[in-house]
A and B are shown apart, each in its own frame.
Chain A
Amino acid sequence: DIQMTQSPSSLSASVGDKVTITCRASQGINISLAWYQQKSGKAPKSLIYDSSTLQSGVPSKFSGSGSGTDFTLTVSSLQPEDFAIYYCQQYDSYPLTFGGGTKVEIK
């Protein structure tokens, strides 16, 4: 199975900050990577797939990059509604696997 490792597991940031989250795959997955956002008590929301393609309706302040084993999710200017847990997920091969999550908190 492909293991997905996210770092950091949590971070504190201020409104307006640029935030970067890293996701590393245990083996190469090309660009078969998605990012999700989950707010407290809510269902996850899809942000990005194919490493860098924004889902419909997702604001351009979110961006993704990477290929192979190393990927990043960047939020260009953190807003109050962006404080949440972010998960990466690989779909290069079954079983599909998620990273452990990165909790973005208010500083």
Chain B
Amino acid sequence: QVQLVESGGGVVLPGRSLRLSCAASGFTFSYYAIHWVRQAPGKGLEWVAAISYDGSGKSYADSVKGRFTISRDNSKNTLYLQMNSLRPEDTALYHCAKDIHLFGEVMDYWGQGTLVTVSS
């Protein structure tokens, strides 16, 4: 069965960096786009970034553009999110989500998420 397991979250000071990982299993990782979607405490879903099946295409929300970088290692079935210059408003549960296509559009499976708290 499809499994997505996020890791790397924690408490970090504003302005610092953090790298999230998402380990995938149960499907051919290199065939699908993958997304990061976050959810601030008690709030709705916010799409953060997406990467195409081969890593050649990447898209970002305006709120993270220039600070976050999405990447993937298909040999390790792993997705990453490098988060720099973190702000308190980046505090959220970060989910990775598998797409149904090669390029990012629709998410069909989601991980449980890893919590990022940005606070001094």
The interface size bin for chain B is 20 to 34
**Are A45's CB and B106's CB within 8 A?**
no
Q: Name the interface residues of B97-116: CB closer than 8 Å to any CB of A.
A: 97, 100, 104-113
Q: Is the interface of A mostly helix, strand, loop or mixed?
A: loop
Contacts of A95 in B (CB 8 A): 47, 59-62
Given contacts A89-B106, A95-B61, A101-B45, 18 further A-B contacts (CB under 8 A): A36-B107, A43-B110, A44-B95, A44-B97, A44-B107, A44-B110, A49-B106, A85-B44, A87-B45, A89-B45, A89-B47, A89-B107, A91-B104, A91-B106, A96-B50, A96-B104, A98-B44, A98-B46
Q: Which residue of B lies closest to A41 (CB)?
A: B112
Most buried by B among A36, A95, A101: A95
In the A-B complex, the 9 residue pairs with the smallest Cβ-Cβ separation, listed nearest first, are A43-B110, A91-B105, A96-B47, A49-B106, A98-B45, A46-B108, A101-B44, A94-B59, A34-B106
Check: A97 CB closer than 8 A to any chain B CB. Answer: yes
The interface size bin for chain A is 20 to 34
